[in-house]
């Protein structure tokens, strides 16, 4: 009970956490639209159409790393900012995922599109349609949301890890185990963005509709559960 009482207040969303999340997503949307990248044809859809994806995730990631490093160097931000508000960010991101899922459901059932990517698939069960989604590849302001959310989750995984590493370093507990953990996670994530174009042909992109399951999985499950190993890495 005491542990729960100590944790619950940190789960309360804060204005700072909202700003961090929206700034992060805003940056990714702008970078995805502006930065150069290979234009990749998506898989052939049932109506013989294809979506096109600009794979500039690696450049977006490197630029954000550079901007973050510059911000830390100038003293504008702390390298532990994400770790310090970790649970607040978790709750804000979860709430955001729920809101987005409702918005996707409402927009989907009202859609009159006939294309394979936007045609609504309504089962008649609210829970099923909200959970699994109504549309295959919904867009918002020309942003393919499914591809965007995967990118956001993978990058967030790296930034949470780096912030936790900074916290370990300042605490004097960043030993070889911690460094190796960071190295292999970073390698995996960077490799993902080097080969980002192959994501366009995965089952998530070509077959699963975008609902709470994928939104939560991309924005919450990937970054916030894939990083829980670091606190348990042996320090001795």
pLDDT of residue 4: 46
**What is the domain partition of the chain in residue ranges?**
12-38+52-221
* pLDDT tens for the 236 residues of the chain, in order: 554 444 556 567 788 999 999 999 999 999 999 999 999 988 887 877 888 899 999 999 999 999 999 999 999 999 999 988 889 999 999 999 999 999 999 998 888 777 777 788 888 899 999 999 998 889 888 889 999 999 999 999 999 999 999 988 888 877 888 888 899 999 999 999 999 999 988 888 888 899 999 999 999 999 999 888 765 555 54
Instruction: Sort 217 into a burial class: Cβ within 10 Å, 0-12 / 13-18 / 19+.
Output: middle
pLDDT of residue 207: 86
pLDDT of residue 7: 55
pLDDT of residue 3: 47
């Amino acid at each position: 009970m005491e542990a729960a009482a100590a944790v619950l207040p940190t789960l309360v969303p804060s204005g700072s956490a909202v700003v961090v999340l929206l700034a992060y997503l805003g940056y990714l949307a702008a970078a995805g639209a502006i930065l150069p990248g290979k234009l990749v044809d998506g898989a052939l859809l049932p109506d013989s159409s294809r979506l096109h994806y600009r794979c500039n995730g690696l450049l977006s990631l490197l630029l954000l790393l550079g901007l973050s490093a510059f911000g830390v160097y100038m003293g504008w931000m702390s390298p532990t900012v994400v770790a310090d508000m970790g649970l607040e960010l978790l709750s804000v991101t979860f709430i955001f995922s729920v809101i987005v899922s409702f918005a996707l459901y409402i927009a989907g059932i009202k859609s009159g599109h006939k294309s394979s990517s936007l045609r609504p698939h309504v089962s008649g069960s609210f829970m099923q349609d909200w959970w699994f989604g109504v549309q295959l590849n919904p867009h918002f302001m020309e942003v393919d949301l499914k591809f965007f959310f995967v990118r956001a989750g993978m990058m967030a995984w790296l930034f949470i890890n780096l912030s936790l590493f900074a916290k370990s370093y300042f605490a004097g507990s960043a030993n070889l185990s911690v460094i190796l953990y960071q190295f292999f996670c970073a390698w995996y994530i960077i490799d993902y963005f080097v080969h980002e174009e192959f994501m366009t042909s995965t089952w998530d992109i070509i077959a699963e509709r975008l609902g709470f399951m994928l939104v939560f999985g991309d924005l919450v499950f990937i970054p916030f559960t894939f990083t829980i190993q670091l606190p348990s890495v042996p320090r001795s």
